[in-house]
Amino acid sequence: MNAAVLATVLLAAEEEFNPDDVTPGVWGFVITFLIMAAVLLLVLDMVRRIRRVNYRAEVREQLEAEQAAEAAGGSPAGAGDASNGSAAGEAGAAASDRPKPE
């Protein structure tokens, strides 16, 4: 058995090395480049979606904080009130002047 392995190794050593047998060639490069481009596009899309989710969460937290401030009786910063003459502020002031039904 040892002689068969030795004969195979010697036979393989005598054969000429052909670089085309071990390189991927042009098609290997093209396929690798296309896979790399697809992965890059997927990463960019993922980053965009993650940013959008983070921004929506921040806006949701701000809205909840504003609603909590309104429920506590204070007015949130940047909201229109009756003193600046905005339509939203006047509507809010008019609604607060109405008596509440029992």
Per residue in 63-88, pLDDT tens?
999 999 999 886 555 555 444 444 44
Residue with the larger pLDDT of the pair 88 and 58: 58
Residue 35 has pLDDT above 80, yes or no: yes
Contact by Cβ (8 Å): 78, 69 = no
Residue 95 has pLDDT above 70, yes or no: no
Rounded to the nearest integer, the mean pLDDT of the chain is 77
Distances (CA, A) of 61 to 52, 74, 76: 14, 17, 13
Percent of the chain exceeding pLDDT 70 equals 60
Query: What gap in Å lies between CA 5 and CA 13, rounded to an integer?
Result: 12
pLDDT value at residue 82: 47
Average pLDDT, integer, range 55-70: 94
